[in-house]
């Protein structure tokens, strides 16, 4: 069974630009979560989607947004990029949002560099 697929794997953008990252979850998984990982801050929760609805949001500015489609694929958008947005962005999928089945499986990540 295919794992979580994130595209692109690497991205270089200029300050002020916007970027869209994509995540295809494991087949049958309806929950998709996004995380930002930096050496100084660890793994920071961005948001979670389940059945096309945002269920939880972390403490990130409104420049960070996301959505989920009916096939559970999710996209994350960052507008007006700043140098500090340079990070590894990880997507994780899980079967459920509570109880059994909440174990998350991560994609390989998108390495975003803002110059």
- Please give the residue ranges that form the binding site for another protein (CB under 8 A): 31, 33, 35, 42-43, 45, 48, 50, 55-56, 88, 90, 97-100, 102-109
As measured in angstroms, the least distance from the Cβ of 3 to another protein is: 10
- 3 versus 67: smaller Cβ distance to another protein: 3
As measured in angstroms, the least distance from the Cβ of 91 to another protein is: 9
Q: What are the tokens at 114? A: 């803002």
Alpha carbons 8 and 22: distance in angstroms, whole number: 7
- 11 versus 88: smaller Cβ distance to another protein: 88
- 79 versus 95: smaller Cβ distance to another protein: 95
DSSP 84: G
Alpha carbons 47 and 55: distance in angstroms, whole number: 8
Backbone angles phi, psi at 16, to 5 degrees: 95, -20
């Amino acid at each position: 069974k295919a794992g979580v697929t994130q595209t692109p794997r690497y991205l270089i953008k200029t300050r002020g630009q916007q970027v869209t990252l994509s995540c295809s979850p494991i087949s049958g998984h309806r929950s998709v979560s996004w995380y930002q990982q930096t050496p100084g801050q660890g793994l920071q929760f961005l948001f979670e989607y389940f059945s096309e609805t945002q269920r939880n949001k972390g403490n990130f500015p409104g420049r960070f947004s996301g959505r989920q489609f009916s096939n559970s694929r999710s996209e994350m958008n960052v507008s007006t990029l700043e140098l500090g947005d340079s990070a590894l962005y990880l997507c994780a999928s899980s079967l459920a949002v509570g109880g059994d089945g909440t174990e998350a499986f991560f994609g390989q990540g998108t390495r975003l560099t803002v110059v």
